[in-house]
Amino acid sequence: MTRLEDKVAIITGATGGIGKAATELFLKEGANVLMVDLNEDDLVEVSKEINSNKLSYFQGDVTLLSDNQKAVDLAKERYGGLDIFIANAGVAGEILPITEYDEKTFDRVMEVNAKGPFLGLKAAIPALSERGGGSVVITSSVAGLTGASLLSPYVMSKHAVVGLTKSAARECAEMNIRVNSVNPSPVETKMMRILEDGISEVNGEENAKEAFEGQIPLGRYADASEIAKLMLFLSGDESEFITGSVHTIDGGFTA
Q: How many whole angstroms separate alpha carbon 254 and alpha carbon 184?
A: 10
- The angle, 0 to 180 degrees and rounded to 10, between the axes of the packed helices 152-172 and 103-110 is 30
Q: How many whole angstroms separate alpha carbon 29 and alpha carbon 111?
A: 32
First to last CA, the chain: 36
Q: How many whole angstroms separate alpha carbon 120 and alpha carbon 122?
A: 5
Residue 146 and residue 246 in contact, taking contact as beta carbons nearer than 8 Å:
no
Q: How many whole angstroms separate alpha carbon 60 and alpha carbon 111?
A: 14
pLDDT of residue 1: 67
pLDDT of residue 204: 67
Beta-bridged to residue 224, according to DSSP, are: none
Domains present along the chain, CATH in parentheses: 8-185+223-249 (3.40.50.720)
Beta-bridged to residue 36, according to DSSP, are: 12, 58
Catalytic sites, residue numbers: 154
The contacts of residue 3 (CB under 8 Å, 6+ apart) are 29, 30, 232, 236, 237, 238
3-state secondary structure labels for all residues of the chain: CCCCCCCEEEEECCCCHHHHHHHHHHHHCCCEEEEEECCHHHHHHHHHHHCCCCEEEEECCCCCHHHHHHHHHHHHHHHCCCCEEEECCCCCCCCCCHHHCCHHHHHHHHHHHHHHHHHHHHHHHHHHHHCCCEEEEEECCHHHCCCCCCCHHHHHHHHHHHHHHHHHHHHHHHHCEEEEEEEECCECCHHHHHHHHHHHHHHCCCCHHHHHHCCCCCCCCECHHHHHHHHHHHHCHHHCCCCCCEEEECCCCCC
pLDDT of residue 205: 65
pLDDT of residue 199: 74
112-115: Cβ within 8 A, 24+ apart: 112/62, 112/63, 112/157, 113/154, 113/157, 113/158, 113/160, 113/161, 114/156, 114/157, 114/160, 114/161, 114/164, 115/63
pLDDT per residue, tens digit, the chain (255 aa), is: 699 999 999 999 999 999 999 999 999 999 999 999 999 999 999 999 999 999 999 999 999 999 999 999 999 999 999 999 999 999 999 999 999 999 999 999 999 999 999 999 999 999 999 999 999 999 999 999 999 889 999 999 999 999 999 999 999 999 999 999 999 999 998 888 877 887 777 766 678 888 889 889 999 999 999 999 999 999 999 999 999 999 999 999 999
